[in-house]
Amino acid sequence: MQGLHLTADLYECRCEAALLTQEDLLSALCRAAVAAAGLTLVAEKYFVFPDYQGQPGGVTGAVLLAESHLAVHTWPERSAVTLDVYVCNFSTDNSTRAQQLLDQLIDSFNPGSRSLKAIQRGEDGEPSTGMNTVPRETLNHSNLLLEWLNEDSAYGYRSERLIESTRSAWQAIEVHETAQWGRLFRLDGSFMTSERDEFHYHESLVHPAALTHPEPRSALVIGGGDGGSTEELFKHPSMARIVMAELDPEVIRVARTHLGAVHRGALGDPRLEIRIGDGWTTVEAMVEEGSERFDLVILDLTDPDTPAFRLYSREFFALTRRILAPGGALVMHLGSPVFKPERVRQLLGELASCYTIVRPMGVYIPLYGAYWGLAVASDQLDPCAIPQDEIALRIAARGVTDLELYNEATHHGLFALPNYYRRLLQG
């Protein structure tokens, strides 16, 4: 009977009000959170309380898991929620999954304050899971924002203030004020970008290919609704046109409202054309019309376990190849070769099946808490073949300034891979 029992009392919840009163919305949230945590739903039952003194009643729900249970009760009149998660660890340690389930539900309800408890249950002498090494109360104290790198690793930053929280048709969107990074942007509980850290990712994503290209004039950015990669592309004076294909218009609205230090006005540049819609559909239409070609295609996407999953495929890479101009290149991020090595290996293999030249990169991105993989793919453009002196000349000739990470030396440094990363390329 040894297991982990987690409870959470959430106050001042700033989620959509209907989430506290409508059975279908609450059930959908719980089912999605259970699946995302890798737990097994067996059955569920919800009861909606009648209105009381003109106020809507709350909802009580019980989700039966193969591993044990999830219980939830909402108090709309107090903007409060109580959560109870218990998992048995008899044959498998499910503690990490339980914590992931609770974390996701807490993120969705977005409380102003919370009270959390963790109890190790079981008879004396039963083996401990080790989950009490760092008490859960400590991990979540003072609005610590956590993100899981994999099932066994997490990291986080403290939020001083929630600036905005909303739920679009596609995802949960948050902007937090933090002491470490200034304004920090999250989608579905995953860190996307921040004011003080964004250059690590955006400069590495854009400039190695853009500086290798003799004169980039057009670019297609798929995703990238925060505007950071577009802002870096506009540093090249030859860039005459950028098309951004962004799935979620709410991301662009939130970025325009709160993330000016990331896009620096690029979202309002007349050279930018924003097309709201699915990246696959956008590229497929371009291929069918046969009228558009781009010097650079930038896949500035959320991770593969999001609505962007179809864009991480051999089929989509092959589509992008058909809209590249001669000498053009595709650039994308791969995830962490430390925490997701098999994903990085798979993506590099699929790129190599479509493009003649595939050059992996690596850079430590503080916000992501990890060494991160990226890649440039092309049939003609080779960023490793251009001399360092030539990169320096091009930076100077183009007047590319305001760079925090990228220069002629770090250009080749990005392609200098550690041995464990190199081994992912074998085969």
And the tokens for 138? Answer: 């400590």
Name residue 377's beta-bridge partners. Answer: 330, 358
And the tokens for 409? Answer: 């030396």
Give the span between the Cα atoms of 278 and 264, in whole angstroms.
25
Q: Which residue numbers are catalytic?
A: 300
CB 333 within 8 Å of CB 372: yes
Vertex 367: Cα angle to 262 and 417 (nearest 5): 105
CA distances from 126 to 1, 23, 69, 131 (A): 9, 39, 21, 14
CB 127 within 8 Å of CB 114: no
For residue 112, the 8-state DSSP code is S
Give the span between the Cα atoms of 75 and 54, in whole angstroms.
14
For residue 388, give every residue at least 6 positions away whose Cβ sits within 8 Å of its Cβ, in sequence order, or none.
Answer: 408, 409, 411, 412
Q: Which residue type does 236 have? A: H
109 CB neighbour count, 10 Å cutoff: 26
CA distances from 359 to 147, 166, 222, 391 (A): 28, 38, 20, 17
Give the span between the Cα atoms of 254 and 260, in whole angstroms.
10
CB 151 within 8 Å of CB 99: no
Largest CA distance in the chain: 76
Q: What is the DSSP code string of 79-97?
A: TEEEEEEEEE-SSS--HHH
3-state secondary structure at position 166: strand
Residue reference for tokens 């930076």: 395
Residue 306: is it exposed, middle or buried by C-beta count within 10 angstroms (0-12/13-18/19+)? Answer: middle
